[in-house]
Amino acid sequence: MPAARHAVILVAGASTRTRPLTEHRPKPLIPLLGQPLLAHILDELVGLIDRVTLVVGYRADQIIAQFGAEYRGMALRYVHQTVINGTAGALLAAAPIDEPFLLLYGDNLIDRADVIGVCQHRYAVAGLRVADPRSFGVLDVRDGLVYRIIEKPAHPPADALANPGIYHFDEEVFPLARQIIPSPRGELELTDLIALLSALHPIACHICAGHWIPVGTPWEALLAARFLLARMAQSQIASTARIDDQVELEGTVVIGEGAQIGAQARIVGPTVIGPRAIVGPGALVVASVLEAGATIGPGAMVGGSVIGAEAMVGADAMVSHSWIDDEAQIGHHAALNAAELPDAQPVAVVNGVLSLAEMRTRGAVIAARSFVAPQSVVAPGSVVTYGASA
């Protein structure tokens, strides 16, 4: 069992890089298979953690309204980072804490095994093996101990371990965090805390064995959804779902309350059809998520995609490897094409659940309440902004 029974999760940022998905919601509420991103993180802590402090900021009211005071037996406390001054500033906002605690960023899907692993030591930092660590902070590890974190080195060693943002601390880090000098970008960097702490105490390195998926862009949100889909264990069909006798279901399929699937439609798993979603006659849905109230028109084809709540895909439209956000509309016979983009270099660690080719394949991101005109063709890699037309 881990030493900590308390977790601190940093969820205050406005996250401009995930726009347009975060134009109308904070990043922790980006939906993944019918649950907010933050819920998937909290699920990994159930049974390990009793108390969670959430450091909130951007659209905090939405997070508090969604999660309330308790989640699956864990008490939730909210503290506001009133000045957005970096990750160490966010940590200081959580003070006072007088016990060991786990520290996480609220935009990474992590593995329960690595939560347990990092909590086995008084002070510990997780290390992640990645294909190209140059876009990460890299751990300076000597004899199994971490001495500092080097930000985005141009020439990291071949065996470099990236920093995935999983830490185990206690109350002694707070006075050290107050000593941090703002970085060149004017922020108090959590990575600077490691050098200060290592001068006083040994910091263990836990090498991650599980998955790690950041959600820093809309494409990474789509990748996260497809990863979670691929790991679905079993089918489940709600008793109130209405499925025509001529519907073909293949693979792992979850169908929610009140969903409707028309004659001769084909659903190929892993797929989630959310509550009240409608799949029209003759439509094809493959390895996708339909959030609550989404509609797929007759004859439409949807593959490798997320269709947001109350969004609509018109008759005979084609949507491939795309994110259609809430209440967006795709006109009839429109085509959102996908292609493998070699320049797309995903940093997620999926342990073989998805192939590199799948992770590089991109269609389009269509923001909430946006409109794609009938018979339009949207090029791979396109992003249609909030409320716009294409």
The CATH number given to whatever domain includes residue 60 is 3.90.550.10
Which residue is it, tokens 């308790």? 70
**Residue 260 Rama label (left phi>0; alpha psi -120 to 50; beta):** beta
One-letter amino acid for residue 316 of the chain: D
Residue after which a domain boundary falls, among 157, 188, 216: 216
Do 263 and 368 have their domain in common? yes
Does 1 have pLDDT greater than 60?
A: no
- Within-domain flag for 196: yes
Contacting residues for 36 by C-beta, under 8 A, at least 6 apart: 28, 29, 30, 66
Do 158 and 283 have their domain in common? no
Confidence band (pLDDT; 50, 70, 90) for 14?
Answer: confident
Q: How confident is the model over 154-167, as a mean pLDDT?
A: 85
What token pair was written down for 67? 């999660």
Q: How many domains does the chain have?
A: 2
Q: Report pLDDT for 181.
A: 84
How far apart, in whole angstroms, are the C-alpha atoms of residue 279 and residue 273?
Answer: 9
Q: What is the CATH number of the domain that holds 264?
A: 2.160.10.10
Q: Report pLDDT for 84.
A: 79
Contacting residues for 306 by C-beta, under 8 A, at least 6 apart: 31, 221, 222, 225, 288, 289, 291, 322, 323, 324
Does 2 have pLDDT greater than 60?
A: no
From 289, 373, 382, 359, select the one nearest 331 (Cα to Cα). 373
Residue after which a domain boundary falls, among 181, 216, 251: 216
Q: How confident is the model over 181-205, as a mean pLDDT?
A: 87
Do 246 and 136 have their domain in common? no
**168: containing domain:** 6-216
From 242, 240, 220, 225, select the one nearest 34 (Cα to Cα). 225
Contacting residues for 159 by C-beta, under 8 A, at least 6 apart: none
pLDDT digits (tens, 9 = 90+) for 258-268: 999 999 999 99
The Cβ of residue 204 has, within 10 Å, a number of other Cβ atoms equal to: 18
- Within-domain flag for 256: yes
Do 69 and 209 have their domain in common? yes
Does 389 have pLDDT greater than 70?
A: no
- Within-domain flag for 389: no
- Within-domain flag for 390: no
Do 115 and 234 have their domain in common? no
Which residue is it, tokens 């339909």? 290
Do 46 and 169 have their domain in common? yes
Do 280 and 161 have their domain in common? no
pTM (predicted TM-score): 0.92
The Cβ of residue 345 has, within 10 Å, a number of other Cβ atoms equal to: 12
pLDDT digits (tens, 9 = 90+) for 57-111: 889 999 999 999 999 999 999 999 888 788 888 898 888 898 999 999 999 999 9
